[in-house]
Amino acid sequence: MTFSDHYFDIDRLDRLSRKETFVHRLDPRVKTIATMLFLITVISFPKYEVAALVPFFLFPVLMLTLGDIPAGFIAGKILLVSPFAILIGLFNPFLDTRIVAVVAGLPVSAGILSFLSILLKFVLTISAALLLIATTSFPGVCHALRQLGFPAIFVSQLLLLYRYLFVLLEEAMRIVRARDMRSSGARGAGVRVFVRLVGVLFLRAVDRAERIYHAMLSRGFQGDLPTLRPSRVTAVDLAFLAATIAFLAGFRFSQVAEGIGRSAQELLR
């Protein structure tokens, strides 16, 4: 029985999200909205679009560098992420073999174009999500969701989930370690043991929830998790949002990459 590396990533992202940079200081609501707009814009490109997607890398690159996030870490996560989209996209070149171009003597099929398009969209969307959380603390995102109209009860338990994620992961690691010390090799890695182990973890979790509830009651809990976080949207935030929208609209509706390419051709000529 092994313990997934994902745990350490949560911890790393959590640490990164508490840095103090220009990007980190932006209002979480503004960042969340900007990210969602970015995603919708990227996804809205048609199936075979490749070149026009490239300029959109500017957004994650700016977030990454201005937010002082290590590029290698994000790149590593993108590579390791469950490759469902790529797996499905990989079929395209084999199924859509209409040749639409010949590059360097090699025929390019429509399927390759649509696969490349999926690949670019995949990297863009994944990095945008990761960079949102790497530059915004998770509680910040939760408060943003609350202010954007998500139900209070959803946000409350989301905050609690995040808080106890770290506690329960520690607990799970302790249980797994204790198990591993007493089982050699494959023994102890099966479903049967797993069930017992998770059962124990479950009972402890329920007891903990009860204790937390008492602690909450002792401090006047009435069904809500109030916070003093008068996050006000500043002029800088609005400027950021406006710039993002302008950037997205500009790159969506004009062929930047192609224009530059054509100018380059002209120059060379």
Partner 1 sequence: MHMADALLSPAVGTTLWAGTAAVTSYASKKLKREIDDRTIPLMGVLGAFIFAAQMINFTIPGTGSSGHLGGGMILAIILGPHAAILVIASVLTVQALFFADGGLLALGCNIWNLGFYPCYLVYPLLYKPLVGNSQKPGRILVASLVSAVTALQLGAFSVVLETLLSGKSELPFGAFLLLMQPIHLAIGIIEGLVTAGIINYVRSARPELLETMAALRPLDASISLKKIMATFIVLAVITGGALSWFASTHPDGLEWSIEKVTGKGELPEQENGIAPVLKGIQEKTAFLPDYGFKPAGNDAKEGEAPPVWPGIEAGTSVAGLIGAVIVLGMIVLIGMGIRSFRRGCT
Partner 2 sequence: MSHHIIEFRDVCFRYPDGTEALKGISFRITHGESVGVVGANGSGKSTLIRHMNGCLLPTSGTVNIGDFPLTVKTRRELRRKVGIVFQDPDDQLFMPTVFDDVAFGPLNLGMDEACVREKVRGALDVVHCLDLQDKPPHRLSLGQKSAVAIASVMAMDPDILAMDEPAANLDPRSRRSLIAFLKTFKHSKMIASHDLDLILDVCERCIVIGDGRVVADGPSAELLSNRTMLEENSLELPLSLQGR
Q: How far is the CB of 245 from partner 1 (least distance, A)?
A: 16
Interface residues for partner 1 in 109-148 (CB under 8 A)? 110-111, 114, 117-119, 121-122, 125-126, 128-130, 132-133, 138, 141
Measured from the CB of residue 242, what is the shortest distance to partner 1 in angstroms? 20
What is the chain's alpha carbon radius of gyration, rounded to the nearest angstrom?
A: 24
Candidates 36-44, 204-212, 244-252, 255-263; binding stretch for partner 2 (CB under 8 A): 204-212
Query: Nearest to residue 126, comparing CAs of 89, 79, 91?
Result: 79
d(CA 18, CA 31): 15
Of the residues 182, 214, 232, 269, which one makes contact with partner 2 according to CB under 8 A:
214
257 binds, among partner 2, partner 1, none (CB under 5 to 8 A by kind): partner 1
Could you say whether residue 100 binds partner 2 (CB under 8 A)?
A: no
In the bound state with partner 1, the residue whose beta carbon lies nearer, of 66 and 233, is 66
Partner interacting with residue 23 (select from partner 2, partner 1, none; CB below 5-8 Å by kind): none
- Which H or E element spans position 105? none
Q: Which of 148, 178, 239, 255 binds partner 1 (CB under 8 A)?
A: 255
Build a one-symbol-per-residue string for 205-234: x at contacts with partner 1 by CB under 8 A, - elsewhere: xx-xxx-xx--xx---xxx-----------
DSSP 184-246: -TTTT-SHHHHHHHHHHHHHHHHHHHHHHHHHHHHTT--S-----------HHHHHHHHHHHH
Q: Which does 151 bind (CB under 5 to 8 A by kind): partner 1, partner 2, none?
A: partner 1
- Residue 19 interacts with partner 2 (CB under 8 A): yes or no: no
Q: Which of 72, 102, 184, 232 lies at the binding interface for partner 1 (CB under 8 A)? A: 102
> In this structure, what DSSP letter does residue 56 have?
G
Contacts of 168 (CB under 8 A, 6+ apart): 201, 205, 208
- Provide the β-strand partners of residue 106: 103
Taking CB under 8 A as the rule, which mask of x and - marks residues 31-70 in contact with partner 1?
Answer: ----xx--xx--xxxxxxxxxx-xx-xx--xx-xxx-x--
Please name the helix (run of DSSP H) or strand (run of DSSP E) that holds residue 163, with its range, or none. Answer: helix 152-182
Pair of tokens at residue 99: 């040749």
CA angle (157 as vertex; 25, 34 as ends), nearest 5: 35
Q: Which region, judged by CB under 8 A, interacts with partner 1, from 23-31, 102-110, 233-241, 242-250? A: 102-110
The answer to whether residues 1 and 189 touch, using CB atoms and an 8 Å cutoff, is yes
Residue where the block lists tokens 């603390």:
137
Asked if 220 interacts with partner 2 (CB under 8 A), we say yes
The answer to whether residues 63 and 23 touch, using CB atoms and an 8 Å cutoff, is yes
For partner 2, what does the binding mask look like between residues 132 and 171, x meaning CB under 8 A?
Answer: -----xxx--x----------------xx-xxx-xx----
Q: Which residues bind to partner 2, rule: CB under 8 A?
A: 14, 18, 137-139, 142, 159-160, 162-164, 166-167, 208, 211-212, 214-222, 225-230
